[in-house]
Amino acid sequence: MRKAAVAPKCGASGTASTGYYIANLLEETLGAKFNTLTGYKDGPEVELAVEREELHCRGISVETLFGREPLIGWLKSGYIRILVQTGKKRDPRLSDVPTIWELMNELKTPEAGRRLATIILAVGAFGRPYVSSPGLPPERAKILLSAFNKTLADADFQAQARERKLDIDPVGGDELATLAREVIAQPAEVVGRMKRLLEK
């Protein structure tokens, strides 16, 4: 992807979609080349375009990859190859696929690029957090946290999640607070670079 004479065509629904801004991030941090085409209605329409050989690639979450067809079948048959993961650590189901962080280490991506990746990829780590209003009494917060953790550990809950092919990989509040502080404490240069990346 870094040495491609012609940048491969990737599909995305729009400039706010993961497939669009992750391709831009890979260009900025790893020197990969992409020609991202937007305007597809949704993910399944992008997949049809891949099957028609109108597109060569697309960005997708691991949850979606393992959660529905035709992606599950594509992966099993070898029709697609996963190039990079954006998580801090490799998903065990994709143990042979490097993370962007590993590739940035290998390619000696400058610190500004690493900071850019931290900001852009934080959305995946934050996921869909459960939050409360300011001033929640600590004892009530403790009760809610305990109930939430018991739900995650419940055998019936886990079975339903597996049946629906849902990944359960919770991130604790302390870890999210640390990440939030890291994202906010970026120099103006990196924030400006992020804005340019998202506006490409």
What ranges do the domains of the chain cover?
9-126+187-199, 138-170
Residue 138 CA neighbour count, 13 Å, CB half: 0
Q: What pTM, to 2 d.p., does this model score?
A: 0.78
CATH number of 9-126+187-199: 3.40.190.10
- Report the chain (200 residues): mean pLDDT per 10 consecutive residues: 88 87 92 92 93 92 88 94 92 95 96 92 80 89 90 92 82 83 88 82
Q: Which helix (H) or strand (E) holds 10?
A: strand 9-11
| Euclidean distance between CA atoms 197 and 63, whole angstroms | 25
| Euclidean distance between CA atoms 169 and 87, whole angstroms | 12
Contact 167, 62 (CB under 8 A): yes
How high is the pLDDT of residue 29? 94
Contact 56, 9 (CB under 8 A): yes
How high is the pLDDT of residue 100? 96
How high is the pLDDT of residue 166? 79
Question: Within the chain, what is the greatest distance between any pair of CA atoms?
Answer: 60
